[in-house]
Amino acid sequence: MSSVTSSRARPRLVHVATTDMSLSLLLGPQLVAFQKAGYEVIGMSAPGSHVADLAAAGIAHVALENTTRAMSPRRDIAAFFELRRAFRALSPDIVHTHNPKPGVYGRLAAKAAGVPAIVNTVHGLYALPEDAFAKRAVVYSLERLAATCSDAELVQNPEDMCVLEGLGISAKKLHLLGNGIDLKRFHPGTVSAERVVSLRASWGADSDTVVCGLVGRLVAEKGYREVFMAARELRKSQTNLKFVVIGPTDPDKSDAISAKEQGAARVDAGVVFLGFRDDVHELYEAMDLFILASWREGFPRSAMEAAAMGLPLVVTDIRGCRQVVDDGETGLLVGVRDPRGLARSIAELAGSAQKRKTMGMASRCKASAEFNQERQIKRTLSIYHELGVPPQKTAGASG
């Protein structure tokens, strides 16, 4: 890859995701870091309320009309052509895509537009080795095709590295990136005791209540239905439990948790729904344990955040969760779609304050050692440099 010869003051770096929420909440700190390092950073996604947050952080945004989480081949094809037009107009030096869907059509569009350097982050392959052959065949074929267009594949999960190598993707392209969070923001003890008491009281929890927290989009694949079933079962014998759910609805998804289901969980199991919150770091402080019952994850951010906040975790034994939780040390692993197993593990931790404390301390230690986002930022910047697109320091750049 030859060095950039652009006349622009700084190399133009475009990150493509499905939603503005992903750009802001999941990638925001990285985008800001890349800009400070000396890149002109542009985010591309469907428009939404988080575009204002990007603007406040100094990140430009280009709205895409056809990106959607919903299953829509017609719109995905339209998104390819829309992106190709946008890339030709912007002439970026690097396009960095984020899977699943933008990672496929975004890489193809960038190649078709003649973008000099194409990078993709594999947040978690949409198919797992244990999935049905038909699903694996489609997903793996698309990944292999799209990978022919990229110069670097940044893989968050080591289990996905093995799969991609098995697909014949060049080892020179594959880089194990890992995943990380802002450990300064997600740090226990940063919220006042008065605030914690106030939060818990607003959920109907006192000092004797064990608050079980969940964070994530309200879709079935996050395991909410299994958690609701476990909560109903536990309510018969564990009167001191309170389940609190933080996360937005996702009506574009066919498996969205309906308002009717949420209402039933409120009535039958006393579940509290808080919707989307931007103070989630404070909410973790008011929890006693964290639950993630997903069917599929890449490298779950919410679980890393909970671990960094010193919480014990009950998570499913799947790719991603296995990288966050050491079973029996920082939390407990349970089977997928197993509400009874969930109930048993939740009851085990709810019944022992000492076990929660010990596992929570181990979680924080693991997070401090393994989940610092600065490592991922530095690794990504080094790969941009290796591809011949180093940042251009300006008077206003720092890093």
Instruction: Please state which of the four CATH numbers 3.20.20.370, 3.40.50.2000, 3.40.50.2300, 3.40.50.720 is assigned to the domain occupying 12-180+372-386.
Output: 3.40.50.2000
pLDDT tens-digit series, residues 322-363: 999 999 999 999 999 999 999 999 999 999 999 999 999 999
pLDDT tens-digit series, residues 318-332: 999 999 999 999 999
Query: Is 185's pLDDT higher than 70?
Result: yes
CATH tag, 193-370: 3.40.50.2000
The residues near 201 (Cβ < 8 Å, ≥ 6 apart) are none
Q: Which tokens go with 251?
A: 């009506």
Burial class (CB in 10 A: 0-12, 13-18, 19+), 260: exposed
Query: Is 6's pLDDT higher than 50?
Result: no
Query: Is 396's pLDDT higher than 80?
Result: no
Spans of all domains in the chain: 12-180+372-386, 193-370
pLDDT tens-digit series, residues 188-225: 999 999 999 999 999 999 999 999 999 999 999 999 99
How many C-beta atoms surround the C-beta of residue 204 within 10 A?
12
If you average pLDDT over residues 137-142, what whole number do you get?
95
Query: Is 22's pLDDT higher than 60?
Result: yes
Q: What is the DSSP string of 157-179?
A: -HHHHHHHHHTT--TTTEEE---
Task: Check: CB of residue 29 under 8 Å from CB of residue 57.
Answer: no
pLDDT category at 394 given cuts 50, 70, 90 is low
What DSSP character marks residue 222? G
Query: Is 8's pLDDT higher than 90?
Result: no
pLDDT at 392: 82
pLDDT tens-digit series, residues 37-66: 999 999 999 999 999 999 999 999 999 999
pTM over 0.75, yes/no: yes
pLDDT at 5: 39
Query: Is 4's pLDDT higher than 60?
Result: no
Q: Which long-range contacts (CB under 8 A, 24 or more apart) does 339-342 make?
A: 339/226, 339/227, 339/229, 339/230, 339/233, 340/230, 340/233, 342/226, 342/227, 342/229, 342/230, 342/291, 342/293, 342/314
Comparison of pLDDT for 21 and 4, the residue scoring more: 21
The average confidence (pLDDT) of the chain is 94
Would you say the CATH fold of 193-370 matches that of 12-180+372-386? yes
